[in-house]
Structure 1
Amino acid sequence: MMIPKASADSPPSVIGKHAIVMEADTGEVLFEKASGEKAYPASLTKVLTAILLDEKVRDNATVTTSLSASKQEGSNRYFLLNPGEQLSKRDALYAMMVISANDAAMAVAEHIAGSKEKFAQLMNEKSKQLGLKNSHFVTPNGLHDPAHYTTAYDVALIVREALKHPKVLEAMGTKETEIHTNMREVHIKNPSKIHDNPLVIAGKTGFTRAAGNNLVEVFEENGIRYIAVDMQSNQVDEYEDIQKMVAYAKNKMKLMTVKEKGDVIGEQVIFGSAVPFALAESIHIPQRKDTAPSYELRTRWITPTEGVTKGQLGGYVDVYYKGKELESVPLLAQANALPPETDLFKKFLILGGILIFLFGCTLLYYRKKSYQLS
């Protein structure tokens, strides 16, 4: 299923009451509808819980299901955790992202913070770090609470952070997998339509009666990633809403090549030699078609104290977009520059090797001559 065509000049009409499309790398908002108004996230909450799981729990940890976690309202019919059931960090993550397991999310919260309330404090602290404007979290799974709310814009920021966590991104992009606990092995499958579109690399659904149907999907095409959020919609229209929004957003963007891999950015004089430094990879920046480029490149050198060899790291080019850092690209030396004593030492080793070789040849010659005389 491909994204339908849309007019570059006509914003789409969407059914969801709150919606947004954000370019993932720059944070550029390309479409929005009441994206700053309060809404209930339902299971979209679990994306934030997954981020905290990835940050605060070691990879080989085991999460144990408490009685209270096992009593959470079920989000599916075929995988409900039992009291005392244990699963790995990886399997807890996939249970939350693939089948939206409410009990797994509560088990994670209790494992990290000891209680739902203390975990909520961590969620709200993280939301401040991410710059969320109008969010307050109470539960790790999104089961309805009037004090548990967010906005479509804030959800986009949470997902933008999730893209920096490869494990979370992979789980959000998984349609089906196996989960192993200390009691059983279960095959789980995401029942949503998220994975029907080949351009979607990650997604998450959410539903409660109070929240309605919520959906977030991450599209990637031509090197540009789009985060699309549709909230307080319905199960029929939410996917079409996002398709139309992303089609509209695509028409506004282009991928601009700023520098190519191998381009020489500058040089450093090292032990009297001018050494050029080149980019280890190309620099591409998603850019709105209707605005002037807003990027800045800042060179950050690493001062060598012992010389450099070809291919050695010598600095970075920091890429800024509208004053915010997007990435850092390594600069690699294109020639050798070694201290004089190093060159002298190498020459000494070479000369020493030659002398040893000549001595060995001479010794061998006299031994042969002595043998012939005898």
Structure 2
Amino acid sequence: MKSKKLPLLLSFFLTFSLTFNVFAAEDTTKVEPEIHGKAAITIDMKTGEIIYAKDIDKQMYPASTTKLLTALLLAENKGKTDMLSYTEGAKSQPEYSLNINLHSIDVGEKMSAENAMDGLLLYSGNDVAYMIAENVGTSAKDFENKMNEEIKKLGLKNTHFITPNGLHDANHYTTAYDLGIIAKTASQNSWVKESMGKLKSTIKTSKGTTFIIENRNKLLGQDGYIGGKTGYTAAAGRCLVAVKEKDGRKILGVVMNSVYDQNDTMVFEDMKKIMDWSYSIKPETLHKKDSVITTKTVKYKPLGFIGPERTIDVPVVIKDDSKYYNNAVNKSELKEEIKLDNITVASLKGNNPIGTLAIKERNASKDYKLYANVPKGTVTKTNLPIYGVAALVVLAAVAVVAFIVKKILDIKRRRRRGKYI
């Protein structure tokens, strides 16, 4: 008997183990991916909601992702056909530069602002960044001030920029969150968006020099990736900003201080992991449909402007599921704000909204309509005695008025008879 039971038990445990593993495999999308980057974030471009978050407020060096802000300032201050002069500051920049790595450029040589934008975002030219800075600003220092003015305008408190190209400086820093806001703002500019979405471009200078450049973002053009910016310094590590559009949604991702491996693949793998997870994860329900959000005590007069005053406890409900992305940032910072209108007896029927519930995250807010949830007939049943007394009073008043009217009419009739006699 024992020998027969043993295979059955083994079969049971094997089946249970396989079933458990299958369910575990199906549930992996709910587990946040592990990446090499020290900090990362994904943001829903439409709502501003943070989906994935890893040390998003930790101070980091941005390297060449800085050039997204340089690009934004170029787009805001110049037109595509404006001509920019190559400057001394540009000429002194190290590789990667058009001047050093592709072809020498003379100080004073010119190129269009459109070409400069492509040289900045596709090739990530360090010299192009300084040429832009010294043509948009009166000097590199003036452009530094413009960058920090823009940072302040965006409400970013953990960012300070020194150089237009992001080469290392201890006082040139940002965070994954702040860089996400900079990148989101820049990518919403049509010219910046167009440029960083190009796979290739041809740049020409006023002396006839031609540069054919390719975008260094390896994800561009694959699986919905429509833009982004790469970056690297020894201090910053490998950095990447990417924008992906899929299934009617647009998500922006930032990875900072990842590994620069031999084949330069890890930062791109990091980005794919957090992007794929962000598209697969579903927001969690904070308040279910028809759940009571709060209770409001309402004073009212059943007879309108006259008669006794009554009170009723009104359950206030939400008629849609309210959702949020469950991550450490949203958990710690999420706030709920309830605003209710003046509630009247008429509004207790629940057909019209009586206020709103605002679910506020760091850079996002959703409003949900609130309704009174008083069971039908409650107000009438509660006030039946008052309504009964009121009805008797009205009937009595009607009877008195009818009696008086009858008397008046009788008097008039008698007077008319007396007149004829």
Task: Give the TM bin, normalised by the shorter chain.
Answer: 0.5 to 0.7
Given the alignment, which residue of 34, 41, 50 partners 1:20? 41
Equivalent residue, structure 1, for 2:77: 56
- Shift of the 114–247 alpha-carbon distance from structure 1 to 2, 3 Å rule, reads same
Kept after mapping to 2: 8 A contact 1:81/1:103: no
Instruction: List aligned pairs for 1:1-374, cutoff 5 A.
Output: 7-76=28-97, 77-79=101-103, 81-183=105-207, 184-195=209-220, 197-234=222-259, 235-253=264-282
Compare the two structures and name the one with the higher strand fraction.
1
CA distance in 2, matches of 1:38, 1:194: 26
- In structure 2, C-alpha distance between the alignment counterparts of 1:289 and 1:143, rounded to whole Å: 35
Aligned-pair distance for 1:133? Answer: 2.6
Contact 1:42 1:207 in 2 (8 A): yes
2:267 & 2:34 partners in 1: Cα distance? 12
Structure 1 unaligned spans of 5+: 255-286, 295-319, 327-374
Is the 8 Å Cα contact of residues 21 and 229 (structure 1) preserved in structure 2? yes
Give SS of 1:8's match: helix
Change in Cα spacing, 1:243 to 1:149, as seen in structure 2 (3 Å) is same
Q: Do the aligned partners of 1:45 and 1:142 also contact (CA within 8 Å) in 2?
A: yes
Number of residue pairs matched? 267
Deviation at 1:6, TM superposition (A): 8.1
Q: RMSD across aligned C-alpha pairs, in angstroms?
A: 2.8
1:81 and 1:6 map into 2 onto residues whose CA distance is 56
1:98 CA drift (Å): 0.5
Q: Equivalent residue for 2:17?
A: none
Structure 1 residues 12 and 132: alpha-carbon distance in aligned structure 2, compared to 1, 3 A threshold: same
Q: Structure 1's 164 and 196: CA in aligned 2 closer, same or farther, altered over 3 A? A: closer
Residue 379 of structure 2 is matched in structure 1 by none
Larger Rg: 2
After superposition, the Cα gap between the structure-2 partners of 1:6 and 1:213, relative to the gap in structure 1 and judged at 3 Å, is: farther
- Within 2, Cα distance between the matches of 1:214 and 1:251? 23
Residue 252 of structure 1 and its aligned partner are, at CA, apart by 2.9
The CA deviation string for residues 121-158 of structure 1, in whole angstroms up to 9 with x for no partner, is 11011011112230000000101111101111111101
Q: How many percent of aligned residue pairs carry the same amino acid?
A: 35
**Structure 2 unaligned regions, length at least 5:** 1-25, 284-322, 331-335, 337-357, 366-421
Alpha-carbon distance between aligned partners in 1 of 2:69 and 2:104, rounded to the nearest angstrom? 21
Aligned to 1:263: none
User: SS where residue 194 of structure 1 aligns?
Assistant: coil
> Contact conserved, 2:51 with 2:325, CA < 8 A, in 1?
no
Cα 1:176/1:253, change in 2 over 3 Å: farther
Greater relative contact order (Cα < 8 A, sep 6+): 1
Q: State how far apart, in whole Å, the 2-side matches of 1:28 and 1:99 are.
A: 31
Deviates more, 1:43-52 or 1:127-136: 127-136
**Which has the larger helix fraction?**
2
1:50 partner amino acid: A
Equivalent residues of 1:6, 1:248 under 8 A apart: no
Q: C-alpha separation between the residues in 2 aligned to 1:159 and 1:86?
A: 28
Give the whole-Å Cα distance in 1 for the aligned partners of 2:158 and 2:272. 26
Give the whole-Å Cα distance in 2 for the aligned partners of 1:75 and 1:117.
22
User: In structure 2, the residue corresponding to 1:13 is in which secondary structure?
Assistant: coil
What is residue 282 of structure 1 aligned with on the other side?
Answer: none
One-letter amino acid of the counterpart of residue 210, structure 2: E
> Contact 1:21 / 1:30 at 8 angstroms: preserved in 2?
yes
Q: Distance in 2 between matches of 1:173 and 1:22?
A: 19
Q: Distance in 2 between matches of 1:12 and 1:80?
A: 44
Query: 1:32 & 1:79 partners in 2: Cα distance?
Result: 41
Alignment-mate amino acid for residue 278 of structure 2: A
Deviation at 1:187, TM superposition (A): 1.1
Q: Deviations over 1:259-291 (max 9, x none)?
A: xxxxxxxxxxxxxxxxxxxxxxxxxxxx75789
2: CA distance, partners of 1:158 / 1:205: 14
Give 1:195 deviation, angstroms. Answer: 1.9
Question: TM-score, structure 2 length as denominator?
Answer: 0.59
Partners of 1:127 and 1:138 lie apart in 2 by: 12
CA 59–191 in structure 1, closer or farther in 2 if over 3 Å, else same = closer
Q: TM-score, normalising length from structure 1?
A: 0.66
